[in-house]
């Protein structure tokens, strides 16, 4: 199991208007990673989150829940 290290660095529940990671809700920097899941392109903060979303997308596609 991979854990996004950026998620552990969160600073409370601040309300932000900036973009956040589709997997862990961390703030995205200037170079987010784009991942295609279920026909949609989403942005994530790190390789761990990209892997997690790809795994979730593959699992959903296998069960027809996409």
- Give 59's pLDDT tier (boundaries 50, 70, 90): confident
Q: Is the pLDDT score of 1 beyond 70?
A: no
Comparing 2 with 32, the larger pLDDT belongs to 32
Mean pLDDT of 39-64: 88
| Main-chain dihedrals φ then ψ at residue 48, nearest 5 degrees | -60, -45
When the pLDDT of each residue in the chain is averaged and rounded to a whole number, the result is 81
Report phi then psi at 36, rounded to 5: -95, 120
Q: How far apart are CA 2 and CA 7, in angstroms?
A: 12
Phi, psi of 34 (to 5 degrees): -95, 130
């Amino acid at each position: 199991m991979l854990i996004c290290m950026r998620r552990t660095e969160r600073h409370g529940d601040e309300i932000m208007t900036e973009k956040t990671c589709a997997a862990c809700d961390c703030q995205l920097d200037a170079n987010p990673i784009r991942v295609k899941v279920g026909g949609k392109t989403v942005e994530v903060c790190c390789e761990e989150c990209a892997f997690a979303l790809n795994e979730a997308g593959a699992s959903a596609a296998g069960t027809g829940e996409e």
